[in-house]
Amino acid sequence: MKISSLNFRNNLRGSAVLSIIHGKEMILKNEVKDFLTKEFASQGFDETIIFEANESDGLLSEIQNNLGGGLFGSQLIIKVVHSEGRFPKALSETLEKIDFDNISNIKIIIDSISESISSNTKWIKDNKDLVQIIECTKLKPLDEKKWLRDKLNFLDKENADRVAKHLFELNSSNLVAHRNDIETIKILHSAEKDSLSLENSISSSIHAPYELEDCLLNLNEKRSIKILRQIKQNDPNSLALVIWVLDKLISTSLMAKKSASPKKYLENAKMWNSKISLYLSFIRKMESSLSSLSKDIFEIEKTFKGIKRLDAWKEVERLIIKICAS
């Protein structure tokens, strides 16, 4: 059974033995995985084992060894992570060998990067009541707008529609940015009691990172640093969005520079005409520095994720100074 990530809460079956969550939209995948894990925990599945996709032999052995429950009747969740390349043939062959009808104490969750999983495979058809496939691929514009409105259900309908439209125009196709903005709006909503104050607060908070992009395109160091510090003061949790804006600025500029026609590349990226001229000017000024800046933003992302023990906000500020000084 195939299930869309948009309405998975109404269609997921707690009775399913195997759940295949596939696609590259991590926000959607995390929502589904969290929901499934909680649902299975409520059924008494209290132990979790994780396998990589290339460990199919170990997966089969684990299932066979735990059929019927262990000594204390434990119920097991087995998570399989497929993070690169095509869906492994060995894993498919292992899944074909599993007798799903005789499994009552094991739940299997496969987290696959594959953009497409066929539901017409014989073993899936044979176990259609016990296998569910949840698609978490890039949302179409209409679906993205619906996803936004659903996430904004803490607002009244008029405000939710207005804010959803605004967010879609601001960072279309970027669910990470959407999620960060929505978390900010939740905080503002709890603090602001009237609609006008809420709308003003939302506008100020959400626009700041994109105002930062415009200042950087103009190499305005003083204004860029001021905006960054205001963002940090107003919402310390917005660092991910700031890093995304910087990464978008640098990666887009670098890809446009490497293309046969930078202007054509930016047009194909559906960029506004007013922004294209700013980017073209930025690329000309930064031509010799873009590769180095790309490495810098990669290091900042590692800092943000905790891989490097540095202050990510300070590293972002240093990068802004470096950009404007180039």
Domains along the sequence of the chain with CATH: 2-135 (3.40.50.300), 141-325 (no CATH)
- The enclosing H or E element of 3 equals strand 2-4
For the chain, the residue count is: 326
- The enclosing H or E element of 109 equals strand 106-112
**Alpha-carbon torsion, ordered 200, 203, 208, 214, to 10 deg:** -120
- The enclosing H or E element of 261 equals none
Is residue 28 pLDDT above 80, yes or no? Answer: yes
The predicted model scores a pTM of 0.63
How many helical (H) and strand (E) elements, i.e. helices and strands, does the chain have? 15, 6
* Segment 137-147 mean pLDDT: 93
Is residue 254 pLDDT above 80, yes or no? Answer: yes
| pLDDT at res. 131 | 95
| pLDDT at res. 240 | 80
2 or 20: which leads in pLDDT: 20
Tell me the pLDDT tens digit for each residue of 197-213: 566 566 656 667 778 98
Give, in order, the Cα–Cα distances in Å from 132 to each of 12, 32, 60, 82, 231. 8, 12, 19, 17, 42
